[in-house]
Amino acid sequence: MADGAREDARTVRLMAALRRQFPAVEDLERRARRRMPSFAFDFLQGGAGDESGLRRNRSALQAVEVVPRYGVDVTKVDPSVELFGHRYAVPIGISPIGFDGMMWPGATEYFARAAQAQNIPYMVGTLACATIEQVVSWAPDVTWFQLYPMASDDHRNSREMADRAQRAGARVLVVTLDVPIRPKRPRDLRNGLIMPFNMTPRIALAAALAPHWLRALSRKGMPTFANMAEFSGTADRQATANFVRTHIGGGFPWDEISRLRDRWTGPMLVKGILHPADAEKAMRLGLDGVVVSNHGGRQFDAAPATIDVLPEIVRTVGGRGTMLFDSGIVSGVDILRAVALGAHGCFAGRAFMLGLGALGDHGAAHVAQSFIEEYRIALGQCGLTSTAAARHAPVRHPGAWTAEDFAPAA
């Protein structure tokens, strides 16, 4: 047997073993907690304020019920979905995770390679730990780019970053609206996690207790905000971190979204939509869709659960754009819930990072394969043979917001 064939066979056996040992995200979470430094695990799992937004996302998703229909031939179930001219294996993609290389060294590359191999979209972020050019080289068919606001100098840097992503070959631009100012995240404050990321005695002690993370760090090097070197004038970690601290933020006003729409020639979305009126504004500006998201509960703890506002936003847009969902997805059943309520596709971040924390190099691919398998099973269990059919499944959603709920208080 040739060396390549042997390696492929070993990989197949490994992935099968991982499927048996870690069949659910909660299994990954338990192992990741042991292998990741405490500051990195808390940064990943934490939320804003009292973290009620985190809990609300999960409880609201779990409350959604989908009614199975039987007597249907489900020997052939097609879980794929077409988004912006590309057919993906399943309606789930990898969400952007800022400073991903701090949580697991090399994360950006692992995400990109897993997304390309499994044919799912990867929405890489502005603050990833590899450049957009590198990511497109690893995942040329599935790379989307999430743009963060750099409001100083009238968003000149924001526009330059978008132009750079387009030159690199990103397929879709996703402009993030829900980061107007930095939130207060108590876990990070308690852990002394500040920018720039430095090995303070406290951080070093936590790292010393995570030998798997340290080994990954020795192979991949200290994380840095790779895309920011162009703007800070140097690849020095301190300089790029200082640029992030002083220039990232300020939010995107709608007139800037309009400018970006004029510059970007491909599909363009806005991410962080929670109000139907904001989705309507995006449609009027000629955007191709929205990502309904509360930033995974990491920005504002009083925000509604994303799944609860999704149906009214879908109704408001009325088929004029692509509706994507983010925040709280941990299983294939969750994907089905969101699709049944009108989403064309979903994104998840924490689950994929927990895969890296628990399993290292193969973690992201394992999570992707789990989502594909679970979603296919969920479709078949409900008598649904395709993602298009799932958007018409009978569903009960007790927490859904109505149009009246969005009206201003008297």
Sequence-distant contacts of 254-260: CB under 8 A, at least 24 apart: 254/281, 254/285, 256/149, 256/155, 256/158, 257/175, 257/282, 257/285, 257/287, 258/285, 259/155, 259/159, 260/147, 260/158, 260/159, 260/162, 260/173, 260/175
Taking each helix axis from N to C end, the angle separating 306-317 and 52-63, rounded to the nearest 10 degrees, works out to 70
Position 115, amino acid: A
CA distances from 377 to 75, 91, 142, 214, 279 (A): 11, 14, 24, 37, 32
Q: Is 406 exposed, middle or buried (0-12, 13-18, 19+ CB in 10 A)?
A: middle
Using CB atoms within 10 Å of the CB of residue 386, give its burial: 0 to 12 exposed, 13 to 18 middle, 19+ buried. Answer: middle
Joined tokens for residue 356: 């890296």
Length of the chain: 410
Cα–Cα separations (whole angstroms), residue 184 to 47, 52, 98, 103: 9, 13, 16, 19
Burial of 196 (0-12, 13-18, 19+ CB in 10 A): middle
User: What is the C-alpha to C-alpha distance for residues 328 and 314, in angstroms, rounded to an integer?
Assistant: 18
Strands (DSSP E) contained in 159-258 are 172-176
Catalytic residue among 247, 295, 362, 366: 295
Q: Is 86 a catalytic residue?
A: no
Cα–Cα distance measured from residue 312 to residue 403, given in angstroms and rounded to the nearest whole number: 7
The DSSP code for 382 is T
CA gap 103, 97 in Å, rounded: 9
Instruction: Say how far apart CA 261 and CA 248 lie, in whole Å.
Output: 20
Q: For residue 82, give both structure tokens.
A: 């077409």
Q: Are 57 and 294 in contact (CB under 8 A)?
A: yes
| Cα 60 from Cα 325, distance rounded (Å) | 14
Residues annotated as catalytic (active site), given as ranges: 295
